[in-house]
Amino acid sequence: MEFSQRLFLKGKPIWEACLEHPFLKELSNGTLEEDKFCFYIKQDYVYLIDYIKIFALGMVKADSLEDMQAFSKCANVIVNIEMDAHIEYAKKFGITKEELENTKPNASNLSYTKFMLQTSTEGSLPELVAALLPCMWSYALIGKTLAKNKKALEHPLYKEWILTYANEEYNRENDWCIKLMDKVAEGLPERQLKKLEKIFIISSKYEYMFWDGCYKKESWVI
């Protein structure tokens, strides 16, 4: 069994719980209140700013030019394409660029990104990959799952978000990260694999907390 499959089996119950969370259930049915989705858009914007930094750290820790190029490509896509797309998408909900830039991360968001940044800064490349992978992987699963629901795709604004994470390009990036996880974990002793597994599970649980915080519109900050 590849190490990524081991991680998938560990993370799957958490991701399935995410899919059952009211935020994603109502998004899937097209009934999610727009103010909750707007809250999510703002929180996701500030989350992505820190998430980009992890790919930059991946370039620093990578041992091969191939991996450096892959991290660089992902960082470039987020910085120069995804962030602009995020800003344009937010406008459809009446959210300005200034509102996005002035958003403060709530406690769950801040705790999540600080965990990933600290793990990525202080830890090894395998630890960095284990920390960032649950976000990419769970979104791929969510996108593909929601895209199967015709009702989810009937909403004029939510449809665009769903298809973004269900499309082939996003899933290719996710597949790259999964394969990288297997590559950097190969040959590691069990004690180190268990540490990677723990990091992966923590990030996966933070994903659930992120959805929950957005649904409840928890705007308090630390």
- Tell me whether residue 160 is in a domain: yes
pTM confidence score = 0.95
Q: Domain range holding 76?
A: 14-212
Mean pLDDT to the nearest integer, 109-131: 97
Estimate the share of the chain in helix, then strand, then coil, as percent rounded to the nearest 5.
Answer: 80, 0, 20
Residue 207 annotated as catalytic? yes
Q: What is the mean pLDDT of the chain?
A: 94
pLDDT at 94 over 90: yes
Note the pLDDT of residue 163: 93
Helix, strand or coil for residue 119? helix
Could you tell me if residue 143 is inside a domain? yes
The answer to whether position 3 is within a domain reads no
Write a three-state SS string for 143-166.
HHHHHCCCCHHHCCCHHHHHHHHH
What is the domain-level CATH number for residue 148? Answer: 1.20.910.10
Is position 135 annotated as part of the catalytic site?
yes
Domain count, the chain: 1
Distance CA 161, CA 120 (A): 28
Selecting among 82, 127, 207, 214, the annotated active-site residue is 207
Question: What does DSSP assign to residue 104?
Answer: P
pLDDT tens, position by position, 5-28: 999 999 999 999 999 999 999 999
More confidently predicted of 206 and 173: 206
Q: Has residue 82 been placed in a domain? A: yes
Q: What is the pLDDT averaged over residues 114-118?
A: 98
Asked if the structure places residue 222 within a domain, the reply is no
Tokens of 97: 């660029």
Active-site choice (74, 135, 177, 214): 135
Average pLDDT over residues 208-217: 97
Assigned domain for 90 exists: yes
Q: Is residue 218 part of a domain?
A: no
Percent of the chain with pLDDT over 90: 85
Residue with tokens 């399935």: 16
Asked if the structure places residue 77 within a domain, the reply is yes
